[in-house]
Chains A and B, each alone.
Chain A
Amino acid sequence: MSDWKFMARQLVKNPLSLAGIIIITVFAILAIFAPLIAPIPEGHRDPYMIPRDGYSATPQPPNEEHIFGTTEGQYDIFYGVIWGTRSAFRVGLVVIGIVVAIGIVLGSLAGYFGGIIDEVIMRITDIFLAFPALILAMAIVAAIGPSLRSVMIALITVSWPSYARLIRGDILQVREEDYIEASRGLGASSGRVIIRHALPNSIYPTLVMASLDIGAVVLAAAALSFLGLGAPEGYADWGQLTSFARNWIVGPPGNSLKYWYAVTIPGLFILFFVLGWNLLGDAFRDILDPRLARR
């Protein structure tokens, strides 16, 4: 496992990826300890629904009770962004997990067996890749009815083909290797060869890069939520919190930045969350690049 040690050392040495690691760790802590950081008010049933303090439309500035203020409809911004961290992790992990699973199954079938199986799977990916992703996702969400679950289904539908292709490519690279030939010669079943020999020797870099796509997935989900196609109103979700602020970006004359907190804070959470994953991803890309010398 000297590979992993080498990687870890590279990541900690590089200030950018170190920043990424710190950012993601902070978000993980926020998500895990959400009930302690933003306690659920007594008698509140669903912790993922943001508690409201009245029904007035006008956002209220930060005060002792609401340290980030309230947004349109008196939803507490602090509670929303903290619990929204959980929503973000959930969307990211679920989508990436399922997409990678589909990618591994279809990609290794296509890559290992080749021929007609490969042809059919690849032509299907062609169809999905023939759409601009967000537009297809939007169409799917509109068709099956807006909700956070629909957003996840839509994002899975539009993103599995790229992973299937990447993993197919990985398998293709090792398919003709001697050790694959050898295990086949020893009478191992195709399933065994794929799972025990082909996959472990080829897909780790792809898996690492895929897991870092969590940032991109969360960004896309936030965009759909912002467009009003995601979580139900009042659900702790960064994209939706940002959209609540849409009518409040310009304050009254003489105090035009009056409602700055309503738009700025949820957006910063999205930005930093995605930034954390991208900082790590950028460093990984360098480490995995075989053209870079390693000692």
Chain B
Amino acid sequence: MELRSYIIRRLLLLIPVLFGVTLFIFAITMLFSPIERASLYVTSARQMSDIPLIIETYGLDQPFFVQYANWIGQVFSGNLGWSRVVGMPVWDAIWSFLPATLELAIFATPLIILMGIFLGTQAAAHKDRPVDHGTRVMAIFGWSLPTFWLGLILLMVFYGYFRGLLPPSRLSIQMDMVVNSVEFIRYTHINTIDAILNLNGPVLLDALRHLVLPVITLSVTQVAFIMRLMRSSMLESLGKGYILTARAKGLAERVVVNKHARRNALIPVITVSGYVFAAMANGVVITETIFTYKGIGWWAWQSAVRLDIASVLGFALFNSVLFVLVNLVVDILYTRVDPRVRLGEAVQ
């Protein structure tokens, strides 16, 4: 099959990129002296005296590429170093913080896509009329908003002014105790899903209450982006011959817009999912920091501020691998959604 060879070729193309990514990350760690790098493996103060031994065992004074080979071997066996901030291996830290961030993404993604597509369609269908101008101004504002500031303002109003209505963090103290009790089984560590599986209404409600503001903060810029993209894609689609045909057949305008034009206009929107992923990864750091929402972004921030290099670079590596894979999936999906795309051309 043509598709299979395309996928194989794309996977092969990933090798040099991932090689470059790891080399780059490794080059950053090499900015530090062997002693500093040895201390990345140190897990307690008592081990400090072992630093010369660590340099010896891990070959931290060896030539660059020998060290790179050692390091990449460690990375493949899952050893990304020690996270000082949380006192566990970086890899374990990533997995323990990931569910919280996934929970944010689970709520933010549909919101971004649905709002973006809906508003973009409306803007295009009412081109040059108040709806269009209104959404355009909204979009430009959305892009220009410093998200960290938006988060603080939302907290000021909904946590301060409306006394604790929508609080920061992930759960209130009481509900946190419930979640960590023996009766509550943590299937996924995603609070809302666990609450549903445990049939625990109060936990579900509390988790949702804590999610509202972070999800809004995380979504605003993205909604603006998808909306503008959807608008221009819709405008292009509305100018096509098949739309004229549909209108000539006497179809209702609603059907023309929602069925004929929108279906085709969605294709370019799918292709930016990779971009949206990257923007979310960036946004998660800021959002989780503001709301003390202890997910992977909060952990990355703590690590960066306390100059915990092993964690920061482990986090960056993890994100880049994920990002590369997301882009691969998007490109493959693209060829399935739009049969006009000739395989291979989508690579460019």
Contact = CB atoms under 8 A, between A and B. Distances in A.
Contact of A282 (B21, B25, B136, B161): B136
A242 B152 contact: yes
Contacts of A140: 28
Given A143-B312, A245-B152, A264-B153, A130 B143 contact: no
A138 B21 contact: no
A250 B159 contact: yes
A169 B235 CA distance: 25
Contacts of A131: 21, 316, 319-320, 323
A203 interface: no
Interface in B140-155: 140-141, 143-149, 152-153, 155
Given A227-B286, A251-B160, A142 B149 contact: no
Contacts of A245: 152
Given A256-B163, A278-B144, A138 B319 contact: no
A264 B154 CA distance: 11
A127 to B, nearest CB: 4
Interface residues of B, number: 55
Contacts of B303: 142
A267 B140 contact: no
Contacts of B145: 271
A274 interface: yes
Given A228-B305, A249-B160, A130 B141 contact: no
Nearest to A216: B143
Contact of B305 (A229, A264, A282): A229
Contacts of A264: 153
Interface stretch (B91-99, B253-261, B277-285): B277-285
B24 interface: yes
Given A139-B28, A267-B149, A278 B143 contact: yes
A278 B147 CA distance: 16
A132 interface: yes
A274 B159 CA distance: 27
A34 interface: no
Contact of B285 (A138, A263, A279): A138
A16 interface: yes
B152 A229 contact: no
Nearest to B25: A139
Interface string B118-160: 0000000000000000001100110111111100110110011
Contacts of A30: none
B300 A138 contact: yes
Query: How big is the A interface, by class?
Result: 35 or more
Interface string A241-278: 01101100111010011001001101100110011001
Interface string B309-323: 100110110011001
Contacts of B149: 242, 263, 266-267, 270-271
Nearest to A289: B232
A203 B48 CA distance: 55
Interface in A206-256: 215, 219, 222-223, 226-229, 239, 242-243, 245-246, 249-251, 253, 256
A264 B289 CA distance: 18
A219 B153 CA distance: 17
B313 A143 contact: yes
Contact of B146 (A128, A145, A270): A270
A136 interface: yes
Contacts of B313: 139, 143
A249 B282 contact: no
B156 A227 contact: no
B17 interface: yes
Contact of B304 (A126, A130, A229, A239): A229
A18 interface: no
A242 B148 contact: yes
A141 B21 CA distance: 17
B146 A271 contact: yes
Given A257-B160, A282-B140, A227 B289 contact: yes
A295 interface: no
B307 interface: yes
B152 A139 contact: no
Contacts of B137: 16
A200 B268 CA distance: 31
B148 A226 contact: yes
A123 interface: yes
A121 interface: no
A134 interface: yes
Given A143-B309, A229-B305, A270-B146, A257 B286 contact: no
A144 interface: yes
A188 B208 CA distance: 67
A271 B144 contact: yes
Nearest to A251: B160
B13 to A, nearest CB: 9
A130 B148 contact: no
B146 A274 contact: yes
23 contacts: A127-B21, A130-B324, A131-B316, A132-B277, A135-B300, A136-B320, A139-B312, A143-B29, A219-B146, A227-B148, A227-B286, A227-B305, A250-B160, A256-B156, A256-B160, A256-B163, A263-B152, A267-B146, A271-B145, A274-B146, A275-B141, A278-B143, A278-B144
Q: Enumerate the 4 nearest inter-chain pairs by beta-carbon distance, A residue then B residue, closest first.
A: A267-B149, A127-B20, A134-B282, A250-B160
Interface of B: 16-18, 20-21, 24-25, 28-29, 31-32, 136-137, 140-141, 143-149, 152-153, 155-156, 159-161, 163, 277-279, 281-282, 285-286, 289-290, 300-301, 303-305, 307-309, 312-313, 315-316, 319-320, 323-324
Given A123-B17, A123-B20, A228-B305, 16 more contacts: A124-B20, A126-B17, A131-B21, A134-B282, A138-B285, A138-B304, A139-B313, A142-B304, A215-B144, A219-B144, A223-B286, A227-B305, A242-B149, A243-B148, A263-B153, A271-B145
